[in-house]
Amino acid sequence: MKSLKTRIIVWLTVLWVIGITIDAFSSYWLARKHIDELLDTHLQGAAVWLSAGKVGAIGSHGPPQHSLDGFVGQIWVRGLADPTDNTDPEVIFNRQAQQGYSVQNINGQPYRVYTLRKDQGEMVYQVGQPVAFREDTAKQAGLESLLPTLLRLGLIWLTIPLVVNTAFAPLSRAAMRAEKVGVGRLQPIDVSNAPQEVKPFADSINRMIARLQVGIDAEKRFIADAAHELRTPIAALQLRVDNMANAPDAATRAEREQELREAIVRSSTMIRQLLALARADAQFEPGATESVDVRQLIQKLVADLWPVADSRAVDLGVKQFEPAFVQAREGELRMAVRNLVENALRYTPDGGTIDIDVFQQAGNVVVRVTDTGPGIPEASIERVFDRFYRLQSDHVEGSGLGLSIVKSVIEKYQGTVTLENRTDGVSGLKATIVLPGIEVAQKAEREETVAGEV
């Protein structure tokens, strides 16, 4: 039974049936009890009436089987063996019965008898009634009391599904609207009439739709920007191919071939960075991470880039170098740090210096790249993380994607990346990555896993 609506209807019906059944049995028992008490009161009143000489009013409609109430009245006088008055000669009560109520078996039929003694026992007045008559009367009254209960039960069987279906109607309408939600129509679901208990879930769906809209809009902008940025290098490639084909001599052809090769390298670099950015934007998967030795990663990176730095007499090395481990994908983290170091190499003039620091701070791992380049204008420090944003430079080319890749990767692992110009009297830029240390990252991962299971 997976339907919540069906479950509610069934359980409400079962609970109501149980409650009504208990109520019915209680009503039936109380009705019989009250009828017994009422008939006992009538017995006592009839005995008092008999003692007042109203013999004719007792059983005046004939024997008990024909009488309206089945009453039998008898008057006894001390010393006489038979009653002086008896409304039914076939019935003789036990005159020795104690005063008050008793049950006597007369001719195989039980009677409920009320005995009244007067004048110190000289006179005994007895009024009896067949127990069967009393039971029939009480049963009839009890069954009559069940009639409203049965009507209520039928009414409940009709109204519970109606009430539940009415309560769920806003959800059904919201489900119909949700069916129309798609990539081209990401509109929030109207849940203004939904039950209060369902609104948190419905609001979370609307927030998810809003996040999807933001993500899709970002992807659309990215695709549009990428298409725009790729248009220029592809056109340049076409132009250089045409120029090479129209070269007048071998020397010109070789020169234009070199230009073509450089254009191909720039285009392939941009495409590679676009793919890297797409991977960096991919959803974070905690189970796919590993413990990364940051110092070892930096050592390999410096070894890879050393020939480039050496060719330009740039002093590339490390200063503060403490043991540090983070929980991440090594390839993505290497790509992010490499982009920072390559960015520093691109802007640092020949003979400059690039220092890399690795240390721990308050449970976090800090990687800092400090160069002696021109720095970044303060107005552009935040904008340089935007995709395809490039600083105006006459001697440096780039795709405008490197820092965007760094930011996407670091934020995926709950870290931060910041840029600031040097303030120690030397021109240059400090790029700082802060990532949770491996213990902090593993604790956060465990808490996220527990929260997801809950």
Same domain, 273 and 291: no
Cα 257 from Cα 241, distance rounded (Å): 8
Same domain, 299 and 246: no
Q: Which two tokens stand for residue 74?
A: 């008898």
Question: Model pTM?
Answer: 0.48
The CATH number assigned to the domain holding 412 equals 3.30.565.10
Print the domain residue range for 373: 286-453
Cα 62 from Cα 178, distance rounded (Å): 80
Q: Which two tokens stand for residue 436?
A: 């949770």
Is 321 domain-assigned?
yes
Same domain, 265 and 314: no
Which of 281, 307, 340 is a domain's end point?
A: 281
Is 399 domain-assigned?
yes
Residue, of 317 and 283, whose pLDDT is higher: 317
Is 3 domain-assigned?
no
Which of 281, 306, 328 is a domain's end point?
A: 281
pLDDT tens profile 335-393: 889 889 988 998 899 999 999 999 999 889 999 999 999 888 888 787 777 766 666 55
Is 254 domain-assigned?
yes
Same domain, 310 and 387: yes
State how many domains the chain has. 2
Q: Are 286 and 329 in contact (CB under 8 A)?
A: no
Same domain, 261 and 304: no
Q: DSSP letter string over 1-60?
A: ---HHHHHHHHHHHHHHHHHHHHHHHHHHHHHHHHHHHHHHHHHHHHHHHHTT-GGGSST
Which of 222, 248, 281 is a domain's end point?
A: 281
Same domain, 303 and 356: yes
pLDDT above 50 for 65: no
Residue, of 372 and 142, whose pLDDT is higher: 372
Enter the DSSP assignment of 287.
G
Same domain, 422 and 313: yes
**For position 153, what pLDDT does the model report?**
73
Same domain, 352 and 260: no
Same domain, 421 and 442: yes
